[in-house]
Amino acid sequence: MIRLQDVHKSFKGNPAIQNLTLQVEKGEILGLLGANGAGKSTTINMLLGFLSPDSGSVSIKQLDATQRASEVRQLVGYIPENVNLYSYLTGVENLDYFCRLAGLRYAKKELEDVLTTCGLQSEAHHQKVANYSKGMRQKVGIAIAYAKKAEVYLLDEPASGLDPLASNELSDLLKKLASEGATILMASHDIFRVREVCHRIGILKKGTLIKEIRSDAISASELEQLYLEFMKN
């Protein structure tokens, strides 16, 4: 579903991604671990078609992400670290607006159901987003991707700044989406969350994928040890 083959990308001569090859299959969650500047966001931006690789290929569902960016974007739901919604709109109105931009029209009840599915409590549906916590905004962000019936979810530090309860709810939701057939790539530096949610984990360092492992083959403490070792060397 998601494929990156021998991808290189540099900014003003500084390499950001080097020889990156990875793939994520349907129903699978891949976690990309890495420090700040490791190339996680650059990878996601290339998958979204906002950046083009210097060499190599980036595709989603066999569609070249650079050449056929608009088609690719229709398949993708993107959840950034901070989902910045329109503070003067309610949760339902925000969801409605983003859906309409994507050419989707839902009845009010359907929008409320999507928000509920994504974990937003019903009493918050018609409150202005200005009063939302970060976790609530993230849930609306996920609802936007969910309502789009995205086949692929790209998450860039989605749990950053969330309280443990909200973070846990997010994990449950991602697992549920994957079980329904969604392909998910999640960039994060939260080792424990990645270990808990993802099927496979890749460790990125200075734009290079230095390790790829199955999460059921490693414990959280082993993963932490491994990650710290790679980062130190």
Partner 1 sequence: MWQIIKNEGYFLSRSRTLLGTSLAFLLMLFLTLFLGHQQTQQQTQAYQTAKDHLRAQWEGIKEMNPHGAAHYGTYVFKPANLLGSLDEGVNTVTGNVLRVEGHVQNEIVHSEASQMQSISKFGKLKSSLLLQFIVPLLLIFLAFHTVSSEKQSGRLKLLVLQGAKPFSLIFAKTLAIWSYGLLLLMAVLLVYTLFNFQNLDAEVLTRSVLFFLSYALYYFILTGLTVFFSSRWQNATVALTSMLGIWIVWTIFLPNILMSSVEKWHPLPSRNEFKTAMKEDRSKGLDGHNPTDERKKELEEATLKEYEVDSLSQLPINFDGLLMQADEEYGNQVWDKHFGQLRTVLTQQKQSLQLGGSINPFIALQNASRGFAASDNLHHQEFLVQVEQFRRVFIKALNDKHAYGGSKTGDWGWKADNAFFKSIPDFKYQPITLASVFSHYVLDLAILMLWSILTVVLLILGARKMQIV
Residue 186 to residue 31: CA distance in whole angstroms: 5
Residues 119-138 as b/e (b if ≥16 CB within 10 A, e otherwise) read: bbeeebbeebbeebebbbbb
Please report, in angstroms and rounded to a whole number, the separation of the first and last CA atoms in the chain: 32
Residue closer to partner 1 by CB (options 67, 219) is 67
SS3 131: helix
Query: Where on the chain is the footprint of partner 1 (CB under 8 A)?
Result: 45, 48, 50-51, 70, 73-74, 76, 78, 80, 82-86, 88-89, 93, 97-103, 141, 144, 148
Nearer to partner 1, 91 or 201 (CB): 91
Q: Nearest distance from residue 82's CB to partner 1, in Å?
A: 6
Q: Quick one: tokens of 144?
A: 């936007």
Polymer length in residues for the chain: 233
Looking at the Cβ atoms of 61 and 199, the one nearer to partner 1 is 61
Q: Which is nearer to partner 1, 93 or 190 (CB)?
A: 93
**Distance of alpha carbon 199 from alpha carbon 188, whole angstroms:** 14
Closest CA to 92 of 115, 67, 68, 73: 115
Query: What are the φ and ψ backbone dihedral angles of 154, each rounded to 5 degrees?
Result: -115, 120
Give the residue with the Cβ less far from partner 1, 1 or 48.
48
Measured from the CB atom, the residue of 97 and 222 that comes closer to partner 1 is: 97
**Least Cβ distance, residue 227 to partner 1 (angstroms):** 27
Look at residues 176, 136, 174 and name the one whose alpha carbon lies nearest to residue 155: 174
Q: Residues near 144 by Cβ (< 8 Å), separated by ≥ 6? A: 77, 83, 94, 95, 98, 99
Residue number, 24 or 150, with CB nearest to partner 1: 150
Name the residue among 32, 10, 18, 5 with its Cα closest to residue 195: 32
Q: How far is the CB of 96 from partner 1 (least distance, A)?
A: 9
